[in-house]
Amino acid sequence: MESSQSTLIVPPGYRPLLDPRHTERAIQKIKEAFQTSLAYELNLVRVTAPLFVRAHQGINDDLNGVERPVRFQVGGLGNEEAEIVQSLAKWKRLALADLGFSPGEGIYADMNAVRPDDTMDNIHSLYVDQWDWELALEPGERTRAVLERVVRTVYDVIRRTERYICHEYEELSPQLPREITIVHALDLARRYPGLSPKEREYRLCRDHGAIFITGIGAPLGDLPPHDGRAPDYDDWTTETAPGYRGLNGDILVYDEVLDIPLELSSMGIRVDPAALERQLEISGATDRRELYFHRRLLAGELPASIGGGIGQSRLCMFYLRKAHIGEIQSGLWPREMARACQEAGIPLL
């Protein structure tokens, strides 16, 4: 594993544009404006989200398929095990069904998670806070056109909020382009042969400012997948055109402070029973068919949907031109990293 020093980026001559007190106020403004706009544009209702769920039900997410959830025993439940959520992708779909939401209606929630396997660096911490949203669809809306329409709507909210906060603080200026560039991971690999997936992201994001990479999870012809995805929430196997698969992807923007592509959102159209069966087979996870969530999905009890998570701290970090996510959220950091940030004038909360 890399040392904490090697994973820290210190931008030359960095100085925060807002002091900690004004930063806290700006965070509040961003969160209020963004969630209001997102809810309006996608017709979402705020719901209360769980911090933890019962273990062994298939409700929690394993993200790329390898991350360990924080698990503990609950004395009041006869020492039954519970897990702190890693995201709410599957829980939200259950909520859509149980609360009776119709196609065109959806929900969003403040999701707070602990991900102990995340590397701690400028943009990763143990604590994850995001808006988790889910929109019910008609079965016939599980298409690439619907995915791209919703991606552009979400991006418009991201861009609109940037313009708002820049209007509030003269120290800030807008950076996002008017349009987001959408590209399939297979075309990205063909455009930049010989580069790694992260290097491809950097090149495209630096050139266009904001991108959505679709088709994440499935093999890219003879190449491995762009990145991993768990088999039971996003649909990464449905064919959308000859040779192209996947109804999911990531929104990334170019972060000028750190000179990196910054992922703000992972989202996608969710698996239907056929896609779930396919992806469980590919992933060697067919035993999950017996879990609570999977049984309900395979029985046709859950609506078709599209959803995702949008990082709150990352979004604020980008808008406020911060060099470290620890300038936005209070957390635990390796001592060497905290010392290096202090010496570089990066004020961690």
CA pair distance 212, 182, nearest whole angstrom? 5
Residue 265 is a catalytic residue: no
- Collapsing DSSP to helix, strand or coil, 90 comes out as helix
Of 105, 110, 227, 263, which one is the catalytic site residue?
263
Clarify whether 115 is annotated catalytic.
yes
Choosing from 4, 87, 125, 266, which is the catalytic residue?
266
For residue 108, the cross-strand partners are 46, 133
* 34/41 Cα distance (integer angstroms): 11
DSSP-assigned letters across all residues of 123-174: S--SEEEEEEEEEEE-GGG-SHHHHHHHHHHHHHHHHHHHHHHHHH-TT---
Report which residue type is found at 328: I
Catalytic residue among 62, 83, 234, 250: 250
130 catalytic per annotation: yes
Which one from 83, 87, 93, 115 is the annotated catalytic residue? 115
Residues 6 or more apart whose CB falls under 8 angstroms from that of 223 comprise 189
Say whether 266 is catalytic: yes
Whether 83 is a known active-site residue: answer: no
**Of 130, 175, 265, 279, which one is the catalytic site residue?**
130
> In whole angstroms, what is the distance from residue 204 CA to residue 226 CA?
14
Tokens of 153: 């709507």
Of the listed 4, 61, 129, 305, which one is catalytic?
A: 61
**Is 234 a catalytic site residue?**
no
Catalytic residues: 61, 115, 130, 250, 263, 266
